[in-house]
């Protein structure tokens, strides 16, 4: 059993056919494999600020290039150091519009809500 001899848990990954495999390298290899292009993140946490309710919420969005999800280029360009995205709700003529923004801009908007 891994927990008796290792300090890090193994990582379960799925192949192209959806079969799950265990890796002995563990979670510390995940970032390295992502940087090498061996695996890709399929979802991300999005922190959303809404001025109407003066709240922030967190949603999980899938990443994909099919037009219904956040595209990988936008994700790679705007993700923070933890792999999270940040978004602002802007109301135009009473209708909410959602914009994905860089974290420093989101932090500035959060400070203005206080």
**What percent of the chain stands above pLDDT 70?**
65
Please state whether the predicted TM-score (pTM) of the whole model is above 0.85: no
Of 22, 24, 5, 91, nearest to 51 (Cα)? Answer: 91
What are the residues whose beta carbons fall under 8 Å from the beta carbon of 6, sequence distance 6 or more? 26
Q: What is residue 34's three-state secondary structure?
A: helix
| 51-107 pLDDT tens trace | 887 778 898 888 877 666 788 888 889 999 888 999 999 999 989 898 999 999 999
Cβ atoms 78, 101 nearer than 8 A: yes
pLDDT at site 78: 92
| 13-56 pLDDT tens trace | 666 666 666 665 555 666 677 677 776 667 788 999 988 877 78
What does the block give as tokens for 110? 């959060």
pLDDT at site 52: 83
Domain ranges of the chain: 1-39, 40-114
Ramachandran angles phi, psi of 37, nearest 5° = 80, 10
């Amino acid at each position: 059993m891994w927990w008796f001899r290792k300090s890090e848990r193994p990582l379960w990954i799925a192949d192209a056919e959806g079969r799950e495999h265990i890796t002995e390298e563990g979670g510390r290899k995940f970032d390295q494999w992502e940087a090498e292009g061996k695996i890709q993140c399929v979802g991300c946490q999005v922190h959303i600020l809404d001025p109407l309710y003066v709240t922030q919420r967190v949603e999980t969005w899938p990443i994909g290039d099919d037009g219904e999800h956040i595209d990988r280029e936008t994700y790679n360009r705007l993700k923070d150091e933890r792999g999270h995205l940040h978004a602002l709700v802007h109301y135009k003529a009473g209708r909410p519009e959602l914009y994905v923004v860089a974290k420093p801009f989101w932090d500035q908007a959060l400070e203005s809500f206080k």
